[in-house]
Amino acid sequence: MASPPRTVEIADPGGISPPEERRANLNLKQEDVRRWLAVGLMAIFAVEILVSLYIMATGSKETWPDLKELLAMILGPTVALVGSATGFYFGTKADGRDKE
């Protein structure tokens, strides 16, 4: 009868990385998401401004009061979102919390 081996070799767990590497990957992914949110909100804001300028340039003066009301409803929340997102994005970069 053969005796059992005294040492047991454990195979490579495959795909499991050390905690430091996972934390670095998570920080990179969070940075990408922050960047895309900021860029996306800025793009929405730019489209709103460009469309309103186009309507002002091509529309008649009778449409301006309606456009003014529409812009008052739409631009306020958009400016708040863009300001919050970009403030958070640049605030975390300056604070250094994205490097933890």
Q: What pLDDT digit, counting tens, does each position of 40-64 carry?
A: 988 999 999 999 889 888 888 888 8
- Separation of alpha carbons 46 and 15, rounded Å: 42
Of 43, 70, 67, 69, residue with least CA distance to 56: 67
Measure Cα distances from 14 to 7, 17, 20, 57 in Å: 21, 8, 17, 61
- Separation of alpha carbons 30 and 18, rounded Å: 19
pTM beyond 0.95: no
Of 43, 52, 26, residue with least CA distance to 81: 43
